[in-house]
Amino acid sequence: MSAQPKRLLTPEEYLAIERDVPMKHEYYRGEMFAMGGASREHNLIGGNIFAAIHSQIANRRCEAYQNDLRVKVTPAGLYTYPDVVVTCQAPQFEDKVLDTLLNPQVIIEVLSDSTEKYDRTKKFEMYRQLDSLREYVLVSHDRPHIDRFVRGDDGVWGLTDADGLEATLELPTIGCRLRLADIYAKVEFPPPPTEEEERAAGIFRA
């Protein structure tokens, strides 16, 4: 007997389910994917970023949301939950529930060992299909480092980074600055690898 083909959900069915369950799920082309819990470091970093941005836009016509607001990437068929998302445009939502944003200008993802490859490749590929998106920011969880991708006027994405607790990252699209010392406040980084661990991993230093 042949297996029954998997039934794909419509976006409307996904939203009806998602709004009725406590766990968050991504949705991509008819399938729902449960999102795992985040570590202490991940939560601290995300909260610090949101607090830093919120304080700088409090008196401006910008809005920032932290990881409970969905973003829909319409051309890719993706619904997802960025760690922090910001828009200084009039926010556009999918429907009257106002929980699915369509026009983010800045998306920030805090990386983890399990999601870094996805965030840097396939997810970024889909995010780039958002006409409103101008900056995509990837924040390391295990060292003070941030990569910022910005869309130029010609549509080409360029990379700048900020490294070390003394560094500051500019987000000109929303007129904000992120001091890495603030972003990584209370975060404990893992100790650097020993020489023996580096040799085992194939890392050789002169």
The pLDDT tens digits for 168-201 are 999 999 999 999 999 999 999 888 777 776 677 6
Residue 1's pLDDT is 47
Which domain does 142 fall in, by range? 39-187
pLDDT per position as a tens digit, 90-108: 999 999 999 999 999 999 9
177: CATH: 3.90.1570.10
> Do residues 142 and 42 lie in contact, with contact meaning Cβ atoms separated by under 8 Å?
no
In this structure, is residue 3 part of a structural domain? no
pLDDT band at 89 (very low <50, low <70, confident <90, very high): very high
In this structure, is residue 179 part of a structural domain? yes
In this structure, is residue 28 part of a structural domain? no
Residue 205's pLDDT is 56
Rounded CA gap, 31 and 78, in Å? 10
In this structure, is residue 202 part of a structural domain? no
Q: Is the pLDDT at 63 greater than 80, yes or no?
A: yes
In this structure, is residue 58 part of a structural domain? yes
pLDDT per position as a tens digit, 115-167: 999 999 999 999 999 999 999 999 999 999 999 999 999 999 999 999 999 99
User: What CA–CA distances, in Å, run from 68 to 97, 152, 176?
Assistant: 14, 29, 22
In this structure, is residue 108 part of a structural domain? yes
pLDDT per position as a tens digit, 153-177: 999 999 999 999 999 999 999 999 9
Residue 196's pLDDT is 77
In this structure, is residue 192 part of a structural domain? no
Q: How many residues are listed for the chain in this entry? A: 206
Q: Is the pLDDT at 23 greater than 50, yes or no?
A: yes
Rounded CA gap, 23 and 32, in Å? 11
In this structure, is residue 133 part of a structural domain? yes
Q: Is the pLDDT at 5 greater than 60, yes or no?
A: yes
> What does pTM read for this prediction?
0.90
**SS3 per residue for 62-89:** CEEEECCCEEEEHHHCEEECCCEEEECC
> Do residues 83 and 67 lie in contact, with contact meaning Cβ atoms separated by under 8 Å?
yes
Side-chain-side CA neighbours of 134 within 13 Å: the count stands at 13
Q: How many domains does the chain have?
A: 1
Residue 26's pLDDT is 96
